[in-house]
Amino acid sequence: MIQALVDWAITTPMNGWVLSWNWTWVILEILHFVGLTLLLGGLLVIDLRFMGFLKQIPPMVTHKLLAIVFLGFTINLVSGILFFFGDPGRYAINIGFQIKFGLIILAGLNVLWFYFKVVRTMNTWADVDSPPASAKFIASTSLVLWFAVLICGRLIPYVGTG
Amino acid sequence: MAFLEWLEYSALADWVATSTWGYPIMLTAHSIGLAIIVGILLVLNLRLLGLFSEIAIVSLSSLLKLAWSGFILNLVSGLCLFSSQATYFATHIAFLIKITAIILALVNAAFIQNLIKTQGDYWDAGGAVPGLTKGLAMVSLLLWVTAIIAGRLIAYID
């Protein structure tokens, strides 16, 4: 099934476009790094707040930063898809990429969990400045997952068949 | 030059350059530090430029300690990476641009940090952030992005 995906991906216009210019890959890498700083920079503030730090910031105010979190994620989703289509055979079988992909799915599920478990019940917090244990857990899981995504991505050239 | 060669032949540099995991570990640490320092400074600089105005500038400045620890991580991992090919990097144009950008960005950040210390409360109370400060924030963004771009290009340019 993976081979079918790879065989198809290689025939797509995206594959041709990525490979058509020597500098496309480097530019995509630069965008990918900028995207990750937007994503993690925003999440550091939001998640640290919901872990109980930065008490001077009202928790829901940190959500204004979701704009750059989503911007960073979108930049990396697009550049990431282009990476994959540019060299599908390499990524499809790379354990670092596979784990990274799984962690991103988990991070997405964690976001849903955060919304339903934490944000929707914030009015029940005993103290508006002190998040309950569940909020702290979900927020710290968010940071752990996204830094794990970063680590796996960085290791892609060095694990499996590189 | 002799010092750079001595560095390159050190046990640490040798380990980073020749072991299976030395270089990847240092690169990974370098990415983590990058995400922390540039991520936090990005939020702070965007705030100074007027975005997310509901977030108090002074409250964001408490993140600067974490940002500096991200920088220390990159200083250490960077030295390890540098040492593994010291003579090569020392004359590599992309590396030199990167280091220049970082030094300038650090000086800039120190200025901004000081301005926040003296003016932060006034800004959070409704005072306007002066054009000079916004200029410094813009320059900071440009310098860190330059560092990222130059860093990435090290592997692609001779």
Which chain A residues are Cβ-neighbours of B52 within 8 angstroms?
Answer: 64-65
B21 → chain A, closest CA residue: A158
Shortest distance between the Cα of B26 and any Cα of chain A, in A, equals 10
Report whether B158 contacts B52 (CB < 8 A): no
Structure tokens at A21: 């210019």
Indicate the DSSP class of residue A116: I
A161, pLDDT greater than 70: no
Contact A41 B32 (CB under 8 A): no
pLDDT tens string A84-117: 999 999 999 999 999 999 999 999 999 999 988 8
Please state, in angstroms and rounded to a whole number, the distance separating the CA atoms of residues A106 and B12.
Answer: 37
Where do the structural domains in chain A lie, given as residue ranges? Answer: 2-158
- On chain A, the residues whose CB falls within 8 A of the CB of B153 are 26
Q: How confident is the model over A67-90, as pLDDT tens digits? A: 999 999 999 999 999 999 999 999
State residue A121's pLDDT score: 85
Q: Residue A135: pLDDT above 70? A: yes
pLDDT tens-digit map of B13-29: 999 999 999 999 999 99
pLDDT tens for residues B101-158?
Answer: 999 999 999 999 999 999 999 999 999 999 999 999 999 999 999 999 999 999 999 7
CB neighbourhood size of A121 (10 A) = 12
DSSP class of residue B127 equals P
> What sections of B85-130 are H helices per DSSP?
86-89, 93-124
Q: Is A68 on the interface with B (CB under 8 A)?
A: yes
Q: Does the CB of A151 have a partner CB in chain B at under 8 Å?
A: yes
Q: Whose CA is closest to B87, among B18, B156, B13, B151? A: B13
Residue A162: pLDDT above 60? Answer: no
Q: Under a CB-based contact definition with an 8 Å cutoff, are residues B155 and B94 in contact?
A: no
CB contact under 8 A, A44 and B59: no
pLDDT of residue A4 exceeding 70, the answer is yes
